[in-house]
Amino acid sequence: MDILITGANRGIGAALLHDYRAEGRDAQGTARNDPALLPLDVTAPASVTALADRLNGAPLGLLVCNAGVYLDKGHSLGHGFGADLWAQTFATNVTGVFLTIEALLPNLRAAKGKIAIISSQMASQTNASGGAYIYRASKAAALNLGRNLAQDLKGDGIAVGIYHPGWVQTDMGGSSAQITPQDASLGLRARFDALGLATTGCFETWDGRAHPF
């Protein structure tokens, strides 16, 4: 398999899957409840293990960790950000990323593949503008996770990149966002193609700019 994209049933993930397949690539996507895609709930360790068993060590050229949630959107300080939302968000946006990568390491090692983690500009400590505390913290953790994995996997020939996909017109980004999923897909695919051991650990925007940490 060339490419595996988590959370590929809608938005950016669906656009990436569609465009890779249009290029003739052997691309597969996952979703929690979509019979057209491989089943995967990144918050459930048994589901992650089942996916790894299904792939059975087959070489994987690119893993795109795209599945994510933004459950505290619109919350205000003192009137939101419940503990349950922290747990759910981190289970998907951080723990789910790690469990998926760890389970598929044999596949990635077999191909000396690449890992792309979809984070956000909201992970940046330099450009902190307040609010969205749960989402920001989870995406910052995903950024930190990717940076450290880049160091540990370099010896295996596996490059890791972390990306801000842009403010995209999806259910999460809203209809007033700046770019379409197709725009994001075009830019991100170029970033993934350019990723290599010389740039492992990078934090970049969808259109190729280095993003401040």
pLDDT tens, position by position, 125-181: 888 888 889 999 999 999 999 999 999 999 999 999 999 987 766 655 555 657 788
Residue 10, H or E segment: none
Q: Is the pLDDT of residue 49 over 70?
A: yes
Is residue 185 within 8 A of residue 16, CB to CB? The reply is yes
What three-state secondary structure class fits 61? coil
For range 93-119, the mean pLDDT: 98
Domain containing 176: what range? 3-205
CATH of the domain at 85: 3.40.50.720
- C-alpha to C-alpha distance for 121 and 213, rounded to whole angstroms: 9
Domain for residue 212, yes or no?
Answer: no
CA nearest to 77, candidates 144, 132, 10: 132
For range 11-28, the mean pLDDT: 96
Question: Beta-carbon neighbour count of residue 200 at 10 Å?
Answer: 21
Domain for residue 213, yes or no?
Answer: no
Q: Around 90, how many Cα atoms within 13 Å sit in the side-chain half-sphere? A: 13
For range 29-52, the mean pLDDT: 97
Q: How confident is the model at residue 1 (pLDDT cuts 50, 70, 90)?
A: confident
Domain for residue 88, yes or no?
Answer: yes
Which of these ranges, 22-31, 44-53, 177-186, has the smallest mean pLDDT?
177-186
Is residue 32 within 8 A of residue 80, CB to CB? The reply is no
Domain count, the chain: 1
Domain for residue 160, yes or no?
Answer: yes
Q: What pTM, to 2 d.p., does this model score?
A: 0.94
Q: How confident is the model at residue 201 (pLDDT cuts 50, 70, 90)?
A: very high
Q: How confident is the model at residue 46 (pLDDT cuts 50, 70, 90)?
A: very high
The neighbouring-strand residues paired with 4 are 28, 63
Domain for residue 176, yes or no?
Answer: yes
